[in-house]
């Protein structure tokens, strides 16, 4: 099975984007039964509420409304600096609006998202082995497998723990986003002096050259709607010897309120589809899960 399809199948019924009231609003999603998520299933009277947050209007990083006659997006294409190509599949256009490729969410519009159609993010999964005071790798007593830790941030908005990722800026390479987001959220580079920023860049430059792609595709995100949705590229950056990443001066910044090394297990409650990404990393290293 192709990497791009794995998470789409896991989230085919939309768990986190059919969660009742939309984030930071009083707008209730229309309840969508599992069997009617797919657009292929006929639902003649499907008429969910339409909601786009006022916070995305007239922002330089956001699209205009589709009622704007001067706005003529190139769907499923590279549209100037804006990437409107889905990692998942070619999405359909209905009455001028892009349709979520995984199916109905019970809400039309853009919600909190800036772009119509796919909104691309990048997620750096930075890992190391958990070690004891003797610097030996810690093994779980039940599974007899070594325990991985990942660099986790607590989001300011939802208070959930997450991978320190973020949106890919228009015209930005994913590799640049991965480094930038980690520095802003886990190393607080936005508040660093120019001298400190240079040191941070030198410190992580080599480490971030050797990432391995874990996932590329659709994300079951609570911000998703019928017409706007999140997609991501997740890369793993692993410190096998514990000699580089463990020395990073972790400090929460930007969209993060806290940052820490977190033991990985199946019992974690993480934002959006992040637990699925973490599980893929554990399987890659045959680590405790």
- Each as own residue / partner, the long-range contacts of residues 132-135 (CB below 8 Å, 24 or more positions apart, any chain) are 135/242
Output the six-digit token pair for 129.
């082995």
Q: Which residue has the higher pLDDT, 193 or 87?
A: 87
Q: Is the dihedral of CA 32, 34, 37, 40 positive or negative?
A: negative
Task: Write down the architecture of domain 121-221+236-285 according to CATH.
Answer: Alpha-Beta Complex (3.90)
Q: How big is the chain by its Cα radius of gyration, in Å?
A: 20
At 201 the pLDDT is 77
The 3-state secondary structure of 227-285 reads CEEEEEEEEEEEECCCCCHHHCCCCCCCCEEEEEEEECCCCCCECCCHHHHHHHHHHHH
pLDDT single digits (tens) 92-139: 999 999 999 999 999 999 999 999 999 999 999 999 999 999 999 999
Q: How far apart are CA 222 and CA 12, in angstroms?
A: 14
What's the rounded mean pLDDT across residues 50-79? 95
Domain segments of the chain: what residues?
A: 121-221+236-285
Global pTM reads 0.87
C-alpha angle 177/61/59, rounded to 5°? 145
């Amino acid at each position: 099975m192709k990497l791009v399809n794995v998470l789409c199948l896991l989230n085919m019924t939309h768990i986190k984007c059919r969660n009742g009231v939309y984030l930071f609003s009083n707008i209730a999603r229309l309840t969508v039964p599992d069997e009617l998520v797919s657009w292929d299933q006929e639902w003649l009277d499907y008429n969910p509420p339409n909601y786009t947050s006022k916070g995305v209007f007239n922002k330089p990083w956001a699209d205009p409304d589709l009622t704007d006659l001067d706005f003529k997006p190139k769907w499923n294409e590279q549209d100037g600096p804006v990437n409107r190509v889905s990692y998942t599949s070619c999405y359909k256009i209905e009455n001028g609006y892009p349709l979520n490729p995984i199916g109905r969410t019970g809400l039309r519009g853009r919600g909190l998202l800036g772009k119509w159609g796919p909104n691309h993010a990048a997620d750096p999964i930075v890992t190391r082995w958990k070690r004891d005071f003797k610097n030996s790798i810690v093994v779980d007593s039940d599974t007899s497998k070594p325990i991985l830790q990942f660099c986790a941030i607590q989001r300011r908005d939802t208070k959930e723990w997450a991978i320190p990722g973020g949106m890919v800026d228009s015209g930005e390479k994913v590799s640049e986003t991965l480094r930038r987001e980690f520095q802003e959220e886990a190393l607080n580079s936005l508040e660093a002096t120019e001298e400190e920023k240079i040191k941070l860049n030198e410190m992580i430059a080599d480490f971030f050259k050797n990432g391995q792609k874990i996932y590329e595709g659709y994300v079951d995100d609570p911000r998703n709607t019928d017409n706007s949705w999140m997609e991501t590229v997740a890369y793993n950056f692993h410190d096998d010897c514990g000699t580089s990443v463990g020395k990073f001066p972790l400090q929460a910044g930007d969209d993060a309120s806290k940052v820490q090394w977190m033991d990985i297990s199946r019992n974690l409650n993480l934002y959006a589809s992040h637990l699925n990404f973490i599980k893929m990393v554990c399987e890659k290293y045959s680590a405790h899960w």
